[in-house]
């Protein structure tokens, strides 16, 4: 059940969809339909009094165009609608605007087959521009719903004539289901790693047995089923899913296929970690989790062997182990469902798209660490740069970082995007957000802190850092910057706290190491700390460059 407050606004009757949603979520009772922009424009409207967290604007393009299909007129009407929407778009909350599907009964006799696509493209271009300008605007996949149902089944002329209800009952149910799915994506923490077997999983047949039984991977028959599976996985990887291999093979045989088979779409560079050996797979998954510095509860294991799946379920119950399809033709749809159920996210950030490269670069850092004569030598060679970024311009990443980080998270508070928006605009809060680069590349935006200055002394209420940059003393530089700014603002002391969770044991003693002294225990079983800024100690860290605002 979605926990956020939802609103559905439309230019056609959505009352039945709203009733369906209200059985599972708190949903705004819209005052009719066709006045979607008026509700937004009027600050005294019941819509604004309801204060929804997520608003869905489900628009019928034919009605918006008033069934006038002249391209120039349509361009003006669409432009005016989006201009009005942008002018009254609140900064708080998330807005989903439906993509375009143009349907009306009279279009069956439209002689120009390009006209429909042209009009839909006008809407799509305007919507894309809006999402690029406003990070709290998303595209709602209305078109997918219609195409999934088919026009004849999706629309109901009988219901349209009865009460301007455009969609058939089954389509309305699917629309309500999709709205709830998107709302849940805004709240959940997705899985991070997809662990894959090789033989009879990424390809058909056995590596090393190709002289007797060729590997099934091609553009036809069952070989195409395996290639289509790889197409799905490749797109998942490009959207932030980390891939790993846990396979019982001779590594040389498996790498020969990975590197040289003409139909392989996934190469060695697409995998953040690999364990191709004869060790038990639970052991290999544990080692990959250590290598990636991630919890095994963020792993999903996909293997054709029921015995291997059961072993992982028994020995690593926190790993998600979905069933494997019975037939090759079910592989790609099965993986698409796994993505939707475990990995899909509301927003895919720049950091998500570059995640595999970032984790592979960590392998180079680890190799450098093994060769370094000392920790200081290693960190100096990394040539780390700490770069502040504007939290208002990276609100999605800031929210994601606070909600996903577990190990290096001093208080593990979770925030909605709207709450985060309010914090960055609050004059009593200071939000610190940092990007880290080094000799191996860009680690992305990986560290954040929030300081509340409304009390007698300012307090660090949140301090998080991505696990991929832990162990390089970067936190010392971040704390130094926070303390320097507090001193510049005239404060003499700074407070902080640690609240223990099942996963943040690595930072239990962080504030003590930084020179803070304990003041009291908290009701959550945590500890409060304080430091006199004039007496703060010198801390060790080595940066090539520290850029401050």
CATH class (in words) of the domain with range 193-345: alpha beta
Count of alpha carbons within 13 Å of 470, Cβ hemisphere only?
Answer: 19
The residue-averaged pLDDT of 120-148 equals: 95
pLDDT of residue 549: 44
Model pTM?
0.72
User: Which whole-number Å values give the CA distances from 161 to 87, 154, 166, 221, 526, in the listed order?
Assistant: 33, 15, 9, 47, 62
Which residue has 């271009």 as its token pair?
125
Residues 8, 182: Cα–Cα separation, whole Å:
13
E-strand spans in 141-269?
Answer: 193-196, 242-247
Span 235-249, pLDDT tens digits: 999 999 999 999 999
CA angle 97, 101, 102 (to 5 degrees): 125
391: Cβ contacts below 8 Å, ≥ 6 apart: 398, 424, 431, 433, 448
What is the location of CATH 3.40.50.1110 in the chain?
A: 5-185
Instruction: Name residue 483's beta-bridge partners.
Output: none
Q: Does domain 5-185 correspond to CATH entry 3.40.50.1110?
A: yes
25: Cβ contacts below 8 Å, ≥ 6 apart: 1, 2, 3, 4, 5, 6, 180, 183
* Strands 94-98 vs 54-58: parallel, antiparallel or unpaired: parallel
What 3-state DSSP class applies to 70?
coil
What is the location of CATH 3.40.630.30 in the chain?
A: 372-546
What is the location of CATH 3.40.50.1000 in the chain?
A: 193-345
209: Cβ contacts below 8 Å, ≥ 6 apart: none
pLDDT of residue 350: 79
The residue-averaged pLDDT of 354-382 equals: 83
68-90 core/surface letters (b: 16 or more CB in 10 A; e: else): ebeeeebbebbeebbeebeeebe
Widest Cα–Cα separation across the chain: 81
Span 306-324, pLDDT tens digits: 999 999 999 999 999 999 9
Q: Does the pLDDT value for residue 32 go beyond 90?
A: no
Chain mean pLDDT for the chain: 93
Q: Does the pLDDT value for residue 546 go beyond 60?
A: no
CATH class (in words) of the domain with range 372-546: alpha beta
DSSP state of 218: S
pLDDT of residue 109: 94
DSSP string over 394-459 = GHHHHHHHHHH--TTBSS-----HHHHHHHHH-TTEEEEEEEEEETTEEEEEEEEEEEE-SSSS-E
- How long a stretch of residues is the chain? 549
The residue that leads in pLDDT, 147 or 526, is: 147
Q: What percent of the chain has pLDDT over 70?
A: 98
Rounded (10°) CA dihedral 510, 514, 515, 516: -50
Question: How many beta carbons lie within 10 A of that of residue 356, not counting itself?
Answer: 18
Span 432-491, pLDDT tens digits: 999 999 988 888 899 999 999 999 899 999 999 998 888 899 999 999 999 999 999 999
């Amino acid at each position: 059940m979605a926990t956020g407050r939802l609103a559905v606004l439309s230019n056609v009757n959505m009352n039945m969809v709203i009733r369906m949603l209200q059985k599972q979520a708190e949903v705004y009772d819209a005052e009719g339909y066709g006045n979607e922009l008026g509700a937004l424009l009027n600050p005294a409207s019941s819509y604004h009094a309801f204060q929804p967290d997520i608003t869905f604007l489900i628009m019928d393009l034919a009605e918006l165009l008033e069934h006038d299909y002249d391209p120039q007129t349509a361009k003006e009407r669409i432009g005016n609608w989006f201009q009005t929407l942008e002018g009254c778009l609140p900064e708080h909350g998330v807005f989903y605007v439906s993509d375009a599907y143009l349907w009306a009964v009279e279009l069956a006799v439209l002689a120009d087959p390009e006209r429909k696509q042209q009009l839909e493209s006008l809407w799509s271009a305007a919507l894309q521009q809006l999402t690029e300008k406003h990070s709290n605007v998303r595209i709602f996949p209305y078109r997918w719903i219609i195409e999934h149902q088919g026009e004849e089944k999706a629309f109901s002329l009988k219901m349209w004539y009865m009460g301007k209800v455009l969609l058939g009952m089954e389509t309305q149910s699917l629309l309500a289901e999709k709205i709830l799915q998107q709302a849940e994506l805004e709240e959940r923490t997705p899985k991070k790693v997809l662990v894959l077997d090789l033989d009879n999983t990424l390809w058909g047949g056995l590596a090393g047995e190709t002289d007797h039984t060729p590997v099934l991977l091609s553009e036809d028959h069952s070989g195409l089923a395996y290639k289509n599976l790889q197409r799905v996985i490749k797109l998942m990887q490009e959207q932030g899913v980390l891939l790993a291999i846990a396979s019982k093979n001779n590594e040389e045989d498996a790498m020969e296929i990975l590197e040289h088979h003409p139909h392989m779409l996934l190469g060695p560079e697409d995998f953040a970690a690999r364990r191709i050996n004869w060790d038990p797979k639970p052991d290999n998954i544990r080692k990959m989790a250590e290598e990636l510095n991630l919890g095994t509860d963020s792993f999903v294991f996909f293997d054709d062997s029921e015995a291997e799946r059961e072993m992982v379920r028994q020995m690593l119950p926190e790993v998600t182990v979905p069933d494997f399809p019975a037939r090759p033709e079910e592989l790609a749809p099965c993986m698409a469902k796994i993505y939707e159920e475990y990995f899909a996210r509301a927003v895919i950030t720049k950091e998500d798209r570059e995640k595999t490269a970032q984790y592979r670069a960590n392998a180079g850092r680890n190799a450098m660490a093994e060769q370094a004569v000392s920790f200081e030598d290693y960190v100096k060679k990394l040539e780390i740069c700490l770069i502040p970024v504007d939290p208002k311009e990276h609100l999605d990443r800031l929210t994601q970082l606070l909600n996903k980080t577990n190990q290096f998270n001093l208080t593990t508070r979770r925030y909605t995007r709207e709450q985060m928006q309010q914090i960055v605009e609050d004059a009593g809060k200071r939000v610190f957000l940092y990007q880290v680069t080094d000799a191996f590349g860009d680690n992305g935006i990986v560290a954040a802190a929030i300081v509340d200055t409304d009390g007698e002394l300012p307090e660090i209420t949140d301090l998080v850092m991505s696990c991929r940059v832990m162990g390089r003393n970067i936190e010392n530089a971040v704390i130094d910057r926070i303390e320097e700014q507090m001193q510049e603002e005239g404060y003499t002391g700074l407070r902080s706290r640690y609240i223990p969770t099942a996963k943040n044991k690595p930072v239990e003693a962080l504030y003590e190491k930084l020179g803070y002294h304990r003041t009291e225990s908290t009701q959550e079983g945590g500890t409060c700390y304080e430091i006199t800024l004039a007496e703060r100690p010198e801390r060790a860290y080595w940066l090539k460059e520290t850029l401050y605002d």
